[in-house]
Structure 1
Amino acid sequence: MAKTNAGRFFEDYKIGDVIEHAVPRTVSGGERAMYHALYPMRHALYSSDQFARDCGLPESPLDDLAAFHVVFGKTVPDVSLNAIANLGYAEGRWLQPVYEGDTLRSVSEVIGLKQNSNGKSGVVYVRTQGLNQLDDVVLEYVRWVMVRKNDLDAPAPETVVPELKTVIPASDLVIPEGLNFGAYDFTLAGEPHRWGDYEVGEVIDHVDGVTIEEAEHMLATRLWQNTAKVHFDATFRPDGQRLIYGGHIISMARALSFNGLANAQMIVGLNGGAHANPCFSGLTVKAWSEVLDKAETSAPGVGAIRLRLVATCGGEAFKLKGEDGKYLPEVLLDLDYWALMPL
C-alpha cells in the first residue's frame, strides 16, 4: 500500500468536499522577523508593540499577509500540489489579528469546478478559512487554481462556477476590536499622508524596485510550508524554470507600496486578485497603486481605503492592459484590497 501522497488531481475534487489541512502551526516572533527580512516591510503597526498599543491593540500583530501565507501554505498539498497556476482570489476578509503564540490551521470547501476545453486540466474553486487555537476564524478567502488531470479519460464534472462578489462592501469589513487611530503618530509611521489626502482615481508610483532572487524565494516558500511542485522542481515546467510563488510577489509589492502608502496600515479585505503573468528569478519588481474607493468606519479615527496594487517587471508606468483587454506581458500582479488608514 502506497504511503506517499501524490496530491489531488482535477478529477479527485467534488463539489462540497470539505478538506481539513495539515499541519497546525504556532506562530512566534520568528515569523515576523523572517517576514521583515524577506521583504522591505516597514509598516509601523507591525513593527512596534508600543505603536500598536498606542493604536488600541494589545501588541503588534503578525503582518496580515504573513498570516495569509501561513493559512494558504497549509492548503497547497490538498489543493494546488499539482497546479499549473494559481489564478485568482475573491471575498477575502481578515476577521481578527493574529498574535505571537496563536496556532493556525486551515479548512477548505470545494465550491466550484470547470474542466478546461483541452481535457487535460481544470479549474478548482475553494473557500478557505484560517482558524486559531480557539476555533475562531481569523481570515477567509476564495481562490481558484488550474490543476492537472491524471486520468485524461476521467469524465468532466458538471461545471459549477460560483458567483463571487467583485467588491466586499465597506460595511462588511471587520475592524479589529479596540483599534483607534485618534492618537496616531504620523512621524513614527513614516509619512504625513492621511485618509483625507487621497482622492479616488489617484495613482501612486512607489518608485522603488527589488530584483527577485532564487534563494529568497526558496526561503519564503519553505517558510510558509508551500509544497507546490512548480516552485521547487525545475523539471516540472517545460522551460526548466522554477515559478516564483505568487504570494512572494504580493508581499514584495505590498512592501514597496510603503513609499506613498505608509499609513495604509492593516489589510482587512481582498476584493480580487490575479497573477497576470508568471514571475521568475532575476526579474526586477516595481509597483504602483490606484485609489479605487474610500469609506468611513465606526472605529475612532479609522478610515477604509480601497486600493489597486499592481506589480510589474518593466513597461510603461500605470499601464495595465492592452487594447485587446488582456494584461500586458510585464504585469505580474493585479490586486484589489481594502486597508485601514488614519483619518
Structure 2
Amino acid sequence: MDRASNSFHHGIRNSFESKTNSSFSHRSISMSPESRPGDPIKRYGIISYGKESPHIKKRSVSRSRHDHHYSIPETPDLYSSFTPEIDKAQTNLSNKRQTIKELNKDWTVNEMLFPGQNVAKLCNIPNPNRRDLNFKEILIDAGFKENCPVIMLSGFNLFQYSELLIGTVRAAMKTDAVIIDNGLRNGFEYSCLRKKVKLIGICPEDQILYPTKVNSGNPPNELSAGHSHLFVLGHKNDNMKWNDIALFKILLADKLRKGVGGSNAFQCRGLCILAGEVEECMKDAERAVHGGWTVLAIEATPIGQEISLILKGKKGKRSLSYLEDAILRGKVFIFPENGNEEDLAMIVHLHLTVTLLTSYWDPDRK
C-alpha cells in the first residue's frame, strides 16, 4: 500500500472517530463507494445491523487490494441526546392540553376563604340548565368520589327554624349524610363545622352577596361560613331566581346518592325537608315528589300547613292544587308542630337507615 493510500484511509478514520463517542460498542462495517458527505449513514458506509438500510441502494463493486474492513464505533442514536428535551416538550404539551380542557369546562372549582380562616370549595357554574352538564365530573372536581345519603333542605329563611333543624345535623353525623341548603346564614352551619358534617350550599349568584370585610350587619343574602361546599349558579344580572335552581339541586342530589359509579351503583337514601314559604319551596316540592324522593314537610311552616291540609283532605289556600294528586300518591309526610329537634333527628335517622312508616308522625303517640 503506497503512502497516498495510507494517508487517505487514516484521514477517513480520524475524521470519523473525532465525530463519534468512543464509549459506544464497536461493530464491523465496510466502506461503500456510495459514501459521501451529508447523510451520516451514507457518509460512513452501510452499518451491519442484520438488515441493510432500505433507503440506500447497494450495488456490487469489484474490491481491490486497497479495500479494508475497519472496526469503528457504532453510529450513536441521534435522539438519545434529545430525550430530556423531548420529555420536557411532551410535559409542556400535556399541561397545555390540560389547561385547554379546564378552560373548556362549563364550571370552575376554587377555594374560598371566609373571614375567620374558614375555607370552602367554591364551584361556579354559569349555565346550570345545560342538558349535557356532566354532574359526575363536577362532583369529582369538588371532592365527592363516593355516594352518600342526602338531606335536602328547602326554604329561603331557614334561620327562624334553626333550633329545630339542628336535629338534621345530628342525623347527618350518625349516617355520614350530606346536607344541602341555600348557602346562606341558617343558624346550624357552625354545628355542621364542629361535627364535621358536609354542608353544601346551592344558590343563584344574582341573589347572593360574597362575604367581605366591607359588608356589615350580616345581610340576609350573604354566603355563610361553615359550608364545606358552595355551588354558585348563573352570573350577576341574569335575573335567576331561587325557584330556577330547583332542577339543578335535585339532579346534583341524585348524583350524590348514586355516586360517581355507573347506573347499577348502590343508591343511598335521600330526604327532602320543606321548611319555608309556599312560593319559595313549591318548585323543590314538585321536583322531589315527581323524582320519587321522600318528602318531609315541617308543619310549623307555611308550606307544611298547606301539605298537611292536602293529606288530611281539607280545603286550604290551594296553592299546591296542581300537585295534590302527586302528593297523595307520593311519599310525602308531615313532621308535627309539637315535635322538637331530638324528634326530628330520630325520624331523619330512621328514614336514612330504615324507612318512614306513617304519613303523620306523632311523637306523643304510644
Q: TM-score range by the shorter chain?
A: under 0.3
TM-score (normalizing by structure 1): 0.22
Larger radius of gyration: 2
Q: Which has the higher helix share?
A: 2
TM-score (normalizing by structure 2): 0.21
